[in-house]
Amino acid sequence: MEKINVGIVGAAGYTGGELIRLLLHHPHVNIAFALSNSQAGKKISTIHTDLQGDTDLAFSSEYHNTIQVVFLCAGHGEAKKFLTENVVADSVKVIDIGNDFRLAADAQFAGRTFVYGLPELNRASIEKASSIANPGCFATAIQLALLPLAKQQLLQNVYTTGITGSTGAGQALAPTSHFSWRANNIQAYKTLTHQHLGEIQRSLLQLNGTAVQVNFVPWRGDFTRGIFTSNTVPCTLPLSEALQLYQSYYQHHPFVTISEQPIHIKQVVNTNKCLLQLEKQGDHLVVHSAIDNLLKGAVGQAVQNMNILFQWPETTGLLLKANAF
C-alpha cells in the first residue's frame, strides 16, 4: 500500500515526541516534516532522545502542503494562530490536539468544520470529516466512563475525581511540574472549573438528551503519565445489568475494555487503551477509568482518528505494550 505523507506542527513537545514515535512505526505513513520553530535544524533525536537510532529526521521551520494530514501539537490557542498565518490546502486533513475547536461555538474556523474526535461517540462523523478536534485527556477518561449511561438517559448529576501525571501539564517548566514539588505530593487544582468540562457536558448532552451536571475535582499526581478517574452516579440498575450495558456499548470499540477486577494506571501506560471498572454500593454506581494521558488522551487517539479518516483498521500502528512494571 502506498504511504501517505503527514506533517507535525509543534513537534518538540511531549505530544509531538510521542506522535513521532507512533508514526515512525505506522505502516501507512511517512513523516514529511516535523515543525518546531524553537528547534529548527536540530536532529529530532537530540530533543526526543528515546528516538536515537530510529530516525535521522531534523526539525523544520516551514509548513508545506505536500502532505495529506497535518497534526497540530502546539499549545492551546496556537492552532487558530497557525491556521490564520498559513495556507493549509483544502485537501489536507487537519487533526488538532489542542483545545481550540472542541466546543460547538469554536467548531467553524478558517473555512473548516471540526468534528469532535472521540471515536467511541462520533466514529461515523469522523469517517466523513476533513478536520478533527481531538478530545482532551481528562475529557476522554471521564466521557468513556459515562457514555453508556448517557445513551440510556440515566445521567443527571455526576461526581468525579481524577488524578493525572506531570506530563499532562506540558513540557514548559512550572512550579507544580518540578520533580522536587511533585515527588511525594498530591494537590487538587481547578476544582469544579476544569477546562475540559465544556466538552464533557457537550458529549453527554448529545446522548443523554438533557444537560448533565459534572462536578469534577482534578488532582496533580506524583507520577509522570497516566490518568485515573472515579465517577459516581445515582443508579438503580443492578451491577450485572450495568456491566451488560457497558459491554454492549463498547463491543465494537477495540480500545475500551471492561474489567471485573480492580484496575490501575500501569495497565494502560504506553498504550491506547482505556480500562473501565464498575462498582456498586446501594443506589450509587462508581465507574473507574484509566488511560495514558499522552496516548489515548492525546496522540494515540489522534492516530486512531487518522486511521478512521483513511478507512484503515482503528488499531493500525497502535497495538502497544503496557509498561506493567
Q: Annotated active-site positions, please?
A: 137
Residues making up the chain, counted from first to last: 325
**Angstrom distances, CA of residue 86 to CA of 32, 62, 64, 78, 110:** 17, 10, 9, 12, 10
d(CA 242, CA 100): 35
Name which of 130, 157, 325 is nearest 233 in CA terms. Answer: 157
Indicate the angle between helix axes 119-127 and 137-151, nearest 10 degrees: 90
d(CA 325, CA 315): 24
Query: Which residues are bridge partners to 278 per DSSP?
Result: 287
Q: Cα–Cα–Cα angle for 136, 163, 173, nearest 5°?
A: 75
All three cell numbers of 255, joined, read 480500545
All three cell numbers of 187, joined, read 494537590
Rg (CA), the chain: 19
DSSP codes joined into one string, 233-276: EE--S-HHHHHHHHHHHTTT-TTEEEESS---GGGTTTSS-EEE
d(CA 103, CA 283): 33
The residue with cell 459515562 is 146
All three cell numbers of 106, joined, read 469554536
Q: From edge to edge, which strands make up the β-sheet containing 112-116?
A: 29-35, 4-9, 69-72, 93-96, 131-133, 112-116, 108-109
d(CA 325, CA 322): 9
